[in-house]
Amino acid sequence: MNEGMPTQKEFGEVIEFEDGFQIKRLGTKDDIVAQATLAESPVFQNCYFLADVMVYKPEDQGKGFASQLMAAAEKKSRDSGKPIVLNDGTDLEREKQNAQSVGFYERRPGWTRVVRSDGSMTSYVIYGSQDPELIRNILERDNLLNKSAKESERE
């Protein structure tokens, strides 16, 4: 890839399925290039959990497919009135969130990082409602998981 040339944006057909979305490359029969899981959160009430936003091939990254997935998830959130929680901390995967991917979400309008009372950032990013009860539940879960991780380190 020529580093001096801008990446050509490409758009695909958004396919919604029960627990998320896929992007099929336009003009192809079944070339799925990207996918995201959007399901009812198993931890937080009345909201979605967004996971596994991925563009399969490196050569397809940076072409706008992930942004298309995000736009579809955000529309579903707005239409349903349910916020989205990214990285709900139900498993160890929450620690795999890297700064680049979190930055991708935070740059999108409507996404905000949940901040602890001491001003430090959690790994949770939410879209939509800033409901105080949801934020409190996220912070309680974050605190519980951090305590559990510290206890595991001592053992």
Residue 1 domain flag: no
Among 19-23, 69-73, 143-147, whose mean pLDDT is lowest? Answer: 143-147
In a domain, 3, yes or no: no
- Between 155 and 34, the more confident residue is 34
Q: Output the domain CATH number for residue 134.
A: 3.40.630.30
**Within a domain: residue 77?**
yes
Least confident of 10-14, 15-19, 95-99, 107-111: 95-99
Three-class secondary structure of residue 95 per DSSP? helix
Q: From the centroid of its chain, how far is CA 104?
A: 9
State the average pLDDT over residues 24-44.
Answer: 90
Q: 15, 23 in Cβ contact below 8 A?
A: yes
Domain count of the fold of the chain: 1
Residue 17 within a domain:
yes
- Asked whether residue 113 carries a pLDDT value surpassing 50, the answer given is yes
The pLDDT value recorded for residue 143 is 87
Query: Would you state the pLDDT for residue 30?
Result: 83
For the residues 14-39, what does the mean pLDDT come to?
91
Mean pLDDT, rounded, of the chain: 83
**Does the pLDDT value for residue 72 go beyond 70?**
yes
Q: Taking phi first (over 0 means left), then psi (-120 to 50 degrees means alpha), and beta for anything else, what does residue 125 get? A: beta
Would you say residue 5 lies in a domain?
A: no
Looking at residue 98, its pLDDT comes to: 57
Is residue 7 included in any domain, yes or no? no
What is the pLDDT at residue 8?
Answer: 59
- Is 4 part of a structural domain of the chain? no
Provide the domain limits for residue 41: 12-154
Global confidence as pTM = 0.80
